[in-house]
Chain A
Amino acid sequence: MKPVTIYDPTLRDGQHAVKHQLSAAALRGYAEAADAAGIPVVEVGHGNGLGASSLQVGRAAVSDDVMLSTVREALRHSRMGVFMLPGWGTSDDLRKALAHGADVVRVGVHCTETSLAERHLDFLASEGAEAHCVLMMSHMASPAELAGHAVTAVGYGARGVGIMDSAGHFLPSDVSERIGAIAEAVDVPVIFHGHNNLGMAVANSVAAAEAGAAIIDGCARGFGAGAGNTQLEVLVPVLERTGYRTGIDLYALLDAAEFAERELMPAPPVTGSLSIVSGLAGVFSGFKHPVLEASARAGVDPRDVFFELGRRQAIAGQEDLIVDVVAHLREVAR
């Protein structure tokens, strides 16, 4: 069996589903359960990563310092991961995260803007940290473009590189092509991070592994924005049956997922109307809450808002566009 590394961003990406309100006790409980299951990397933070607590996306209930020290204490075997978006977090945030004992640092950029990560990847390499670069909203670039950006990221010092299907737009063949192109172009582990807007997250993750991805992301109960991410406790046994070795204990993994459902979320994600629309429109799933709220206030159809955001090519982080789009649709309706 071929080894594959499971990377668990439940305590980071899941934050989008609960407006970044996870408590320190919830973080500790899940981190302990994930550690007991032998999950290799447990990522923690605000949904948009280090330094990203904001009105634009949501202010976190717990500071970065408390999140990192809580999860660090809870992990005995698993490595701790953090996420950072240049322009949102800064090198100071990276320094603090390393001081807290972060083992893996992912720098996220929109899939065509890898040069935004040059400085931070260079800094992390000089600190000897294991830095990854993830290309977000990767449905907005071709396989060849993504491979080119992956090569650039490795040149900046990334020791892992890959793609996020931030809008949950991909079908398995899209993933195979893109992961295949990247795996052929770089000699570092390739990452795939799926979203479930069109019900494809597990199938897409298997396609990624078969195309050469060595690091696959999954969240307990799929905890994440909108329709959620790849469901971790489904992903792991499916990969094992397909012929990949994860090193994760099934029962302990199922227990961690039970804990997550009970303690982290009001209800597990479902593929609701807006998640389907955001997947089709190619818009970041994390826009769901602000779109719903702004649409309800203005009396416009939130599905129209998603398609208009897609038309304007909104990228992750551009939640401020929602106010304009809603105002525009309200005007058009009059």
Chain B
Amino acid sequence: MTEVAVIGTGAIGRDLVGKIHRSPVLDCALVAGRNPESEGLKHAARLGYPTSAEGIDAVLAAGPFPIVFDATNALSHKEHWQLLKDVDTLLIDLTPSRVGDMVVPTVTGTRAPAARDVSLISCGGQAAIPVAHALAGRFPVSYLEVVSTVASRIAGRATRLNLDEYVATTQTALTEFSGVRDTKAILNISPAVPPATFRTAIHAVVPGASATEVRAVVAEAAERVRAFAPGYRVLACEVNGDRVVVSLEVAADSDVLPRYAGNLDIINSAAILVAEQHAARPVVVGG
């Protein structure tokens, strides 16, 4: 088992601890937050894991851990990377800080990441990039836009304060993985009751797209994501002239999250996959 630590005890941190608990190769050695009374620390303690309210200081004192998940916020992640970059740790960033190398499992492959700080981009990025990458690989896409909707109840303070970073990081990742220069990311927060399941719409300008081919490419990309995020599904795929609209939904498959919180489920599922690949990598002696 590979020992991992989690910093951040919001909904993302709590679900990560739940997913680590289910993992056959990862062992949760520390959960660190800021508030000793937080639900996240209590949840980790109930599962029998060591907890601390000392945040990154606790991780530095108890480490080094082979893997640390950062589920805090974009600004804090920059500090955490400065403090951990000289330690032999893989830092997996769940915030939209854009510091580390960006990872999308079905696009960047199943090899363990070479970088020591990897970024999971954003929930919208994890949902849209597999489809955007597949479309751009098959058709001459000239513009890409991704509009995601997160239920208000699951959008915590860090998400709300980091909207600018969400937009910038998602746009950068869309361009990096699709090769399309002109991209746009938008985030809506829905207050609907009962809460709306996380959704992402991909708008693309695709001259000469055939509806049949587009549907096949989208379906194949979605199937690959479902291998690690089973709640991922295509709701609609419309082609109208050179305009393509794909709408996707992600339902959470989690012991901790409500079904509608697919935004957290998909980014956390990807993070766990990265960690498990890293844990399984061959150890290079003297390397």
* Residues of A that sit less than 8 Å from B by CB: 54-56, 86-88, 90-92, 110, 112-113, 115-116, 118-119, 140, 297, 312-315, 317-318, 320, 323-324, 327
What separation, in Å, do the CA atoms of A327 and B235 have in the docked complex? Answer: 9
- Interface of B, secondary structure class, is strand
- Residue contact B186 to A313, C-beta cutoff 8 Å: no
Known interface pairs A56-B145, A115-B157. Does A315 touch B190 (Cβ–Cβ under 8 Å)?
A: yes
- Residue contact B143 to A55, C-beta cutoff 8 Å: yes
Q: Which positions 122-158 of chain B face chain A at CB distance < 8 Å? A: 143, 145, 147, 149, 152, 157
Question: How many positions in chain B have a CB within 8 Å of any CB in the partner chain?
Answer: 34
Q: Which positions 222-262 of chain B face chain A at CB distance < 8 Å? A: 235-236, 238, 240, 243, 245, 247
Closest partner residue, chain A, to B201 (CB atom)? A320
What separation, in Å, do the CA atoms of A88 and B147 have in the docked complex? Answer: 9
Cβ proximity bits B168-204 to A, threshold 8 Å, 1 near / 0 not? 1000000000000000101111111100100101010
- Residue contact A113 to B152, C-beta cutoff 8 Å: yes
- Residue contact B247 to A324, C-beta cutoff 8 Å: yes
What separation, in Å, do the CA atoms of A87 and B187 have in the docked complex? Answer: 5
Contact of B160 among A54, A56, A115, A140 (CB under 8 A): A115
- Residue contact A320 to B196, C-beta cutoff 8 Å: no
What separation, in Å, do the CA atoms of A91 and B201 have in the docked complex? Answer: 24
- Residue contact A317 to B167, C-beta cutoff 8 Å: no
Contact of A112 among B152, B240, B243 (CB under 8 A): B152
* Between-chain CB contacts (< 8 Å), 24 pairs: A54-B147, A55-B143, A55-B205, A55-B243, A56-B145, A86-B163, A88-B186, A90-B163, A91-B164, A110-B191, A112-B152, A115-B157, A118-B161, A119-B164, A297-B240, A315-B192, A317-B147, A317-B186, A317-B188, A318-B188, A320-B199, A320-B201, A323-B247, A327-B235
- Chain A residues in 8 Å Cβ range of B189: 87, 110, 113, 116
- List 11 other contacts, CB 8 Å, given A116-B189, A315-B190, A323-B238: A56-B186, A87-B188, A90-B167, A116-B163, A312-B196, A318-B188, A318-B190, A323-B201, A323-B236, A327-B235, A327-B238
